[in-house]
Amino acid sequence: MSGTPFGPFVLKHFFRQYVEFLRRPEVARLMLLALISRMPVGMVAFSMLMFLREKLGAFSLAGSAVGIYFVAMAVCAPIQGRVIDRVGPRGVLIVTGVVHPLAMLAVLLFAYYGFSFGYVAAASAVCGAFATPIITLTRTLWRQRFDDEHDRRRAFALDAVMLELNFTLGPVICAAVLASAGATWAFGLSIVVVVLAAALFVVARATRHFKLEAHAERHLFGPLTERRLVLLFLASFGLTTCFGLLEVGYPAYATQMGVPAAAGLLLGMNALGSATGGAVYGGLHLRMSYERQFAAVLALMAVPLFMHLLFEAFAAWIALAYVTGLLIAPAIASQSVLVSRLAPSKYAAEAFTWSSTFIVAGLGTGMAVGGTLTELAGVRPAFATGGAIVCAMALLALLLRSPGTPRAAPAEA
């Protein structure tokens, strides 16, 4: 037997997989493009909330405007997806790349100059309705770029890691500008980044890889005619409801402990865990079907969620935040693989927009429920509720597998 240490050998083999994957034509370029062009996802809502709180004078009004933004986004995303599947993404990118930042500018001006809340709410709705669909397009491109599901899993895992970086770096950048120059400048920076992101995606011609089935026969309800896809969307709603509970639960715990600023540390550890879990998941060679992988990740997530009930110490909660995060990116990656498998190719983009709709709705529901629970019953019931929800969603995910569902084919080393 060779004297080579087992640990370093495994790590070398693990990282070599990613190096070889990123050396494939266009893959590294598309990953970098996705990371840069999706920076607004971590900046817009946060900077809008802080700017409107300052100008409107109340978190309730600011939160309502941001809520309207998310609701409009969730409602209109499938419409964008249907148009993309029929005529291609370029026109949608150009229209949203113009209207979205103009609507953001309207929000800024209406609030800055003291217009009534109705004007701010209307502009927020337009802003959400015309949100640039870059996340949907990148995930659709990964589906179309790879036919092998192991390659798709690796792509979606890396994609989930990149998205965690967006959600981590975006608020940090906005917070730095907020502290140094004020909320107006932070929101203004977000508008500039939205313009640059859309322009970059168009100029980089990433959409030239998009495969269009313009003349395919389509149903009025699109991908919602696929029963298993609807079940997957419902499971995704439950999963992201749990994420929303975390978004409220960690700040509530930090506030309860008398160190509200530590909420950022807990959420940051959760995001770091997600990035770690996504990187590991993408490099694994699993024979279990993707339906069962998704169900298993959901079931495992319940364990650290329920463990929040057992500990009081802040150090323990930091560790639990990281461990819980380890399962977030794998859950999103396996969900994305299943969307790409279950959705007919003629609904490629629309399926991912419906997925986004259920995800955004779940996040909003989780934050609303979490806020109510922490106010009325305390912090721990929010985590207990999250654990119960993912257990139920794991059982629901078991229904996704049909008798003929193949196992995930192991990739060659």
In 255-272, which positions are buried (b, 16+ CB within 10 angstroms) versus exposed (e)? eeeeeeebbebbbbbbbb
Number of domains in the chain: 2
pTM for this one?
0.80
Domain that holds residue 399: 223-413
**Could you tell me if 46 and 168 lie in one domain?**
yes
Tell me the CATH number at 309: 1.20.1250.20
pLDDT (0 to 100) of residue 155:
87
**Could you tell me if 202 and 243 lie in one domain?**
no
In a domain, 337, yes or no: yes
**Could you tell me if 208 and 231 lie in one domain?**
no
**Could you tell me if 325 and 411 lie in one domain?**
yes
- Which residues are within 8 A (CB) of 279 and not within 5 positions of it... i.e. 6 or more apart? 18, 157, 158, 161, 329
**Could you tell me if 207 and 230 lie in one domain?**
no
Helices 27-37 and 6-22, interaxial angle, to 10°? Answer: 80
**Could you tell me if 161 and 238 lie in one domain?**
no
In 3D space, the residue among 201, 135, 164, 158 whose CA is nearest the CA of residue 355 turns out to be: 135
**Could you tell me if 258 and 109 lie in one domain?**
no
pLDDT (0 to 100) of residue 11:
61
pLDDT (0 to 100) of residue 192:
96
How many CA atoms within 13 Å lie on the side-chain side of 263? 14
In a domain, 6, yes or no: no
pLDDT (0 to 100) of residue 26:
80
**Of the candidates 184, 212, 240, which is a domain's last residue?**
212
**Of the candidates 212, 244, 267, which is a domain's last residue?**
212
Q: For each of the chain's 413 residues, which pLDDT tens digit applies?
A: 445 454 554 566 667 777 888 888 888 888 888 888 889 988 888 888 889 988 998 767 887 888 889 889 989 999 998 888 888 888 899 999 999 999 999 999 999 999 999 999 999 999 999 999 988 888 888 888 888 878 888 888 888 888 888 888 888 888 888 888 988 999 999 999 999 999 988 887 777 767 766 666 666 677 888 899 999 999 999 999 999 899 888 888 888 888 877 877 888 889 889 989 988 888 777 788 889 999 999 999 999 999 999 999 999 999 999 999 999 999 999 999 899 888 887 888 888 889 989 998 898 888 888 888 888 888 999 999 999 999 999 999 999 876 555 555 444 43
How many CA atoms within 13 Å lie on the side-chain side of 84? 34
pLDDT (0 to 100) of residue 122:
97
In a domain, 217, yes or no: no
**Could you tell me if 40 and 185 lie in one domain?**
yes
pLDDT (0 to 100) of residue 169:
84
In a domain, 7, yes or no: no
In a domain, 78, yes or no: yes
How many Cβ atoms are within 10 Å of 207's Cβ, its own excluded? 17
pLDDT (0 to 100) of residue 317:
95
